[in-house]
Amino acid sequence: MIDYTLFNADKTLMKTSVEKIPGNYQMFKESQLPFGITVKPYGDLPSGEPVPAVSFKNDPIVRCKDCRAYICPFVRWLDNGSKWICPFCGEINPTGSYYYSTIEPDGYRTDHDERAEFNCGTYDLIANHEYMNRPPMPPTFIFAFDVSKSAVDSGYLELACSTIKSVIE
């Protein structure tokens, strides 16, 4: 039996505000649950190991042609690996010749164990030339502050702004 929890993102890197999500939009709407996701990009796994990186070199990154979702452990393969089903929208996608691998009787590709995108819920994709419209830009930082009356009265807002300003000047 496959332990599908191994394929999920670690909770230190991605965590939802609710543990179980209603099965359809109507139930979600009626439940009135506040829903949010906290994402920690560029983090390390709790074991201290870096998040695995996947590079397609000069070939296109494998994505669903309909919803544009990236390849992941929940993809199902058809026609001995020549097609795959997107787990998000159900679209059947062709497998490019550069990415093709035969399928074993258990439904997994023969290269399953060597590819992080089939074994990890979190992996970094190394962008190739198809994602480069211009040279990479320096990072942009966005700061969010509590601007309530109590934050202003307590001096928190002024202190936070002056501290950040002193660091970046």
Which tens digits make up the pLDDT trace of 49-105?
788 889 988 898 999 999 999 999 899 999 999 999 999 999 999 999 999 999 999
pLDDT exceeds 50 at position 4: no
Q: Could you give the CA distance from residue 46 to residue 10 in angstroms, rounded to a whole number?
A: 8
Position with higher pLDDT, 83 vs 25: 83
The closest of 5, 9, 17, 37 to 123, measured between CA atoms, is 9
Q: What is the pLDDT of residue 2?
A: 45
- Write out the two tokens for 166: 């002193």
Residues 6+ apart with CB under 8 A from 103: 77, 80, 81, 109, 110
Half-sphere exposure of 89 (CA within 13 A, CB side): 12
Average pLDDT over residues 155-167: 91
How would DSSP label each residue in 50-83?
A: BPPEEE-TTSPPPB-TTT-PBP-TT-EEEGGGTE
- CATH 2.30.30.380: which residues of the chain? 52-137
Q: Domain 52-137: state its class.
A: mainly beta
Q: What is the pLDDT of residue 1?
A: 38
Q: What is the pLDDT of residue 67?
A: 94
Predicted TM-score of the model (pTM): 0.63
- How does pLDDT run across 102-155, given as a tens digit for each residue? 999 988 999 998 999 998 888 888 888 777 777 778 878 888 888 999 989 999
pLDDT exceeds 60 at position 5: no
pLDDT exceeds 90 at position 167: no
Is residue 130 a contact partner of residue 68, using CB atoms and an 8 Å limit?
no
Q: Where are the alpha helices (DSSP H) in the chain?
A: 25-31, 149-154, 156-168
pLDDT exceeds 60 at position 156: yes
